[in-house]
Amino acid sequence: MGSPVKQYFEYLSKIAELSHVVGCALQNYIAARTCIRDYVISADDEHYAEVEERIKLAINAFLEAEPMVEHETLDEIRKFLDSVRQWAVIARQVHDGFASYRNIVQNKVLINFGTITKASNVLLQTSASLTMDMIQDVQAANVAVMSYLFSGDLALAENAQHAFDAAKAKMASMGKNNEQIDAALQAFSTCLSQYAVGFRAAVESRENAYTVFNETLAPLGTQVQDDLEDFYDWLAETQKGINELKVLAEHGSKGFPAVH
């Protein structure tokens, strides 16, 4: 086999190896994007652990690819490596945002959900005729709150806020009736305020996390994946020359250009 043929085989062999390594990086990166979507839906840390593992594998593949390439191709590999690292940083921000949301729900919403239910029962026992309408507003708020926590639908968050406002308006219009109901009303007012504030904090926290995911992480992820797939397609197309070289090798090295 002539020297030009040998050089071309060595070159295209490297291209084939590079294509395989970049393909592994791409597969792991796509898997990481799927896992972060699963995490956003479920807030299950097992999904996020999978994100970190997949990103680690993708980065390692890019590092493995660096020694295989030179010049412009190496610049492309480094660009992808930097982009995937940036994606991983933003994915951590998304994770931290949803972790903060879960903490607020646990410590400021669900706890106050139980407290406001008890306070409502006290008011009903004190004067059902005066407080029934207000308690119904609170019950409507409870339903909207729980539905929002399940679905993330902002319309339900607005429904909860309207119910909170309606309960507060009725409470303000009641005025002082007697010492017994006034004491229960004050306790209820404190519970309701804490509940409403905690819920607003949860909604804001969740929306902030979704904003980072939808407006920053998702567009970057799509761009990196598109660029990677284009680069991978170029590598795969280059490999097609291997078959042509095999045919030419059978007829000697005539016609091979010089390898620079």
What pLDDT is recorded for position 73? 76
Which tens digit of pLDDT belongs to each residue from 182-209?
888 888 889 999 999 999 999 999 999 9
Amino acid, res. 4: P
**Where, residue-wise, is CATH 1.20.1440.210 in the chain?**
3-99+217-249
What pLDDT is recorded for position 252? 58
- Cβ(160)–Cβ(199) below 8 Å: yes
Q: Which tokens is 13 given?
A: 């062999």
The structural architecture, per CATH, of the domain 105-207 is: Up-down Bundle (1.20)
- Cβ(39)–Cβ(48) below 8 Å: yes
Question: What is the Rg, in whole angstroms, of the alpha carbon atoms belonging to the chain?
Answer: 31
Residue with tokens 């898997």: 31
The length of the chain in residues reads 260
What pLDDT is recorded for position 246? 64
- Alpha carbon distance 122, 11 (integer Å): 82
What pLDDT is recorded for position 259? 44
What pLDDT is recorded for position 10? 73
What pLDDT is recorded for position 243? 61
Low-confidence spans in the chain with pLDDT less than 50: 1, 256, 258-260
> Is 3-99+217-249 a domain of CATH 3.90.1660.10?
no
What pLDDT is recorded for position 258? 47
- Cβ(134)–Cβ(170) below 8 Å: yes
What pLDDT is recorded for position 175? 59
Q: Indicate the angle between helix axes 218-239 and 71-104, nearest 10 degrees.
A: 150
Residue with tokens 């879960």: 102
pTM, full prediction:
0.80
What pLDDT is recorded for position 242? 63
What pLDDT is recorded for position 260? 45
